[in-house]
Structure 1
Amino acid sequence: MGGDPVADKSGFLCMYMSNHPDTLVSYVRYWGKVSAQVSSAKMTAIDTKGMTLTYQTKGSTETKEVRVEFEPPLLGYEEVKPRLMGMKAEAEEELGMTRAPQITSFRYSPKFMTTIVAMTFLTYCTLAQSLASSEYAPFFVPGNTILSYLPSWSLQFSWGMVAFCHGFESLYVLYLCKKHRTGFFVGAQYVLAALMLGFPVISDMRKQVQDARIDSIMKGK
């Protein structure tokens, strides 16, 4: 079994990050969830699963330690730089040190397709039940066959779960749109997409935000 590719270069990475003390402090405060006034911080170890940081707070000489886990874990050494850059940008945004990147366009993601298929199937089954006695009944025979094996309340329960989950997810997307200054038109697209498709929209929007953060850092903004 091979070793951890990031842990193998932990010494070099810790030495490199020692040149960025402000970044390490932001890691401790935001990702390490340390509410005290952190005066200094140091990275002592890093691997694919997370990094270990030591820090001191203002007015104290005691050194404390915090472990920050990577979610998801790094797949290899090449992921270290973009992950740390993204974490730095998010920490500084949440701590009020920098402004969140702006999202100016709505983008479709292939991730949406799974939910689109699921929602289409749910709609088909619902129509199958309501149009079972109409001239369109033959088209809905497969749907009604499926429903015959399910409890009578299954459709109502499914739509209730969709309304509950997608409703809360669309509110979170609205928050993200406001935070990242999408504007009305782009924001409306994201909120409506979240109402219809739910979590995949959140996932892709956060990925777009992460890409914008890294792009901003690479341009030196």
Structure 2
Amino acid sequence: MASDSVAERSGFLCTYMSNHPDTLVAYVRHQGGVSEHVTSAQMTAIDQKAMTLVYKVKGKDEKITKRVAFDPPLSGYDEVKPRLLGMKLDAEESLGMIPRPQLKPFQFPLRALYLAPLLILLIYTTYAPESRSHLGYWLRRMVGGPKVVWGIWIFVYVVHVLEALYTVSLCRKYRTGWVDGLLYTGGTLLFGFAIWSDMRQRVQKMRIDSIGKIH
């Protein structure tokens, strides 16, 4: 069984995080789902699967233990810092401690255009005449016939609709507004992950740029 590189350094990490009590309180409130007024918090253990937080709430003396799972689990010690930082920013944004990044105005990622040839090829393969002189005819036969081609369309449609729903949640979370939100959602319906993955990368960049302003 592989050793847990995070658990091996648990003592050091807990000592380090003791210097950031505000961050630990934010973890308890947001990732821990605690709605009460938390007055103090400390990290007592951490491994690749979760961290253990002990906290107190206003008006009570007893300490309460909360185990917050990492989803997905940490791949190793090197992932601790970026993951905890991402969780910190997400918690602070959700709790109103810092302003949440705003994805305005709409930006179309040029890498989405890389998918255009595949989309055009699929359209051509679908609607090319039933003639041996057309490349589309042979492409249809190569993939298994018209039913398979339409099956591909259904698969792409379902995946892109699910991705568009996820994009809607990103638009609401990062306050794009109706117009830009429609552009992002429509873009995802056409180009899929290229749109929403770019949105997430932009948010990460804005978060990184804001770190210097927080401290």
TM-score by length of 2: 0.77
Task: Look up the match of 2:107.
Answer: 106
8 Å Cα contact 2:39/2:55 also seen in 1: yes
8 Å Cα contact 1:85/1:217 also seen in 2: no
Offset, 1:60 = 2.3
Task: Look up the match of 1:94.
Answer: 94
Q: Does 1:32 align with 2:26?
A: no
What's the Cα RMSD here? 3.4
Task: Look up the match of 1:217.
Answer: 211
Task: Look up the match of 1:22.
Answer: 22
Change over 3 Å in CA distance of 1:3–1:164 after alignment to 2: closer
Q: Alignment partner of 1:53: what SS?
A: strand
Q: Does 1:205 align with 2:199?
A: yes
**Which piece of structure 1 moves more, 35-44 or 84-93?**
35-44
8 Å Cα contact 1:109/1:204 also seen in 2: no
Instruction: Name the CA distance, whole Å, in 1 between partners of 2:88 and 2:38.
Output: 16
Offset, 1:99 = 0.8
8 Å Cα contact 2:49/2:74 also seen in 1: yes
Task: Look up the match of 1:138.
Answer: 134
Q: Alignment partner of 1:65: what SS?
A: strand
Change over 3 Å in CA distance of 1:122–1:62 after alignment to 2: farther
Offset, 1:171 = 4.8
Instruction: Name the CA distance, whole Å, in 1 between partners of 2:194 and 2:71.
Output: 17
Aligned positions of 1:8-19 closer than 5 A: 8-19=8-19
8 Å Cα contact 2:140/2:146 also seen in 1: no
Q: Does 1:60 align with 2:60?
A: yes
Change over 3 Å in CA distance of 1:25–1:100 after alignment to 2: same
8 Å Cα contact 1:86/1:214 also seen in 2: no
Higher relative contact order (CA 8 A, sep 6+): 1
Matched to 1:60, the amino acid is K
